[in-house]
Amino acid sequence: MRLGISSCLLGTNCRYDGGHSRDRFITDMLGEYFEFVPYCPEKMVFTTPREAIRLVRIDDDIKVKTSVGNIDVTSKVVDISKELSNQIQDDDLCGFILKSKSPTCGLERVKVYPSKKNGMSEKNGIGVFAKQIKDKYPSLPLEEEGRLGDAWLRENFLMQIFSYKNIFEFLKTNPSAKDLVAFHTSYKYIIYSKSHISYKELGQIVANHDKRDIKVVLEDYKHAFLKAISLKGSISNTYNVLLHLYGYFKKDISKDEKTEMLDTFEEFKNGLIPLIAVIKILNLYIKRFEIDYLKSQIFLNPYPKELALRSKVEAYR
DSSP 267: H
Based on the shown chain and the rule CB under 6 A, indicate whether residue 42 belongs to the binding site for ligand SF4. Answer: yes
Secondary structure element (H or E) that encloses residue 254, with its range:
none
Q: How far is the CB of 1 from ligand SF4 (least distance, A)?
A: 20
Nearer to ligand SF4, 129 or 285 (CB): 129
d(CA 17, CA 49): 5
Residue 261 near residue 268, CB atoms below 8 Å: no
Based on the shown chain and the rule CB under 6 A, indicate whether residue 105 belongs to the binding site for ligand SF4. Answer: yes
Based on the shown chain and the rule CB under 6 A, indicate whether residue 15 belongs to the binding site for ligand SF4. Answer: yes
* Binding residue (CB under 6 A) for ligand SF4 from 3, 26, 30, 40: 40
Nearer to ligand SF4, 6 or 237 (CB): 6
Phi first, then psi: what are they for 189, rounded to 5°? -80, -20
d(CA 6, CA 135): 17
Nearer to ligand SF4, 88 or 218 (CB): 88
Based on the shown chain and the rule CB under 6 A, indicate whether residue 85 belongs to the binding site for ligand SF4. Answer: no
Based on the shown chain and the rule CB under 6 A, indicate whether residue 132 belongs to the binding site for ligand SF4. Answer: no
* Binding residue (CB under 6 A) for ligand SF4 from 81, 102, 163, 195: 102
Q: How far is the CB of 136 from ligand SF4 (least distance, A)?
A: 17
Based on the shown chain and the rule CB under 6 A, indicate whether residue 7 belongs to the binding site for ligand SF4. Answer: yes
Residue 22 near residue 55, CB atoms below 8 Å: no
Q: How far is the CB of 43 from ligand SF4 (least distance, A)?
A: 6
Nearer to ligand SF4, 15 or 194 (CB): 15
Nearer to ligand SF4, 146 or 203 (CB): 146
Q: How far is the CB of 163 from ligand SF4 (least distance, A)?
A: 26
Nearer to ligand SF4, 144 or 155 (CB): 144
d(CA 236, CA 240): 6
d(CA 281, CA 261): 8
* Binding residue (CB under 6 A) for ligand SF4 from 3, 4, 6, 170: 6
Site residues for ligand SF4, 178-207, by CB under 6 A, read none
d(CA 262, CA 163): 29
User: Measuring CA to CA, which residue among 142, 113, 133 is closest to residue 53?
Assistant: 113
Nearer to ligand SF4, 98 or 275 (CB): 98
Find residue 126's DSSP bridge partners.
Answer: none
Which of the stretches 96-104, 143-151, 171-179, 269-277 binds ligand SF4 when contact is defined by CB under 6 A?
96-104
Secondary structure element (H or E) that encloses residue 278, with its range:
helix 275-288
Q: How far is the CB of 3 from ligand SF4 (least distance, A)?
A: 14
The dihedral built from the CA positions of residue 253, 259, 260 and 265, taken in this order, carries a sign that is: positive
Which of the stretches 97-105, 176-184, 196-204, 288-296 binds ligand SF4 when contact is defined by CB under 6 A?
97-105
Q: How far is the CB of 70 from ligand SF4 (least distance, A)?
A: 19
User: Measuring CA to CA, which residue among 241, 261, 249, 251 is closest to residue 292?
Assistant: 249
Residue 22 near residue 36, CB atoms below 8 Å: no
d(CA 261, CA 199): 26
Based on the shown chain and the rule CB under 6 A, indicate whether residue 104 belongs to the binding site for ligand SF4. Answer: yes
- What phi-psi label fits residue 39: left (phi over 0), alpha (psi between -120 and 50 degrees) or beta? beta
Nearer to ligand SF4, 41 or 233 (CB): 41
d(CA 245, CA 301): 14
Q: Which residues bind ligand SF4 (CB under 6 A)?
A: 6-8, 14-15, 40-43, 99, 102, 104-105
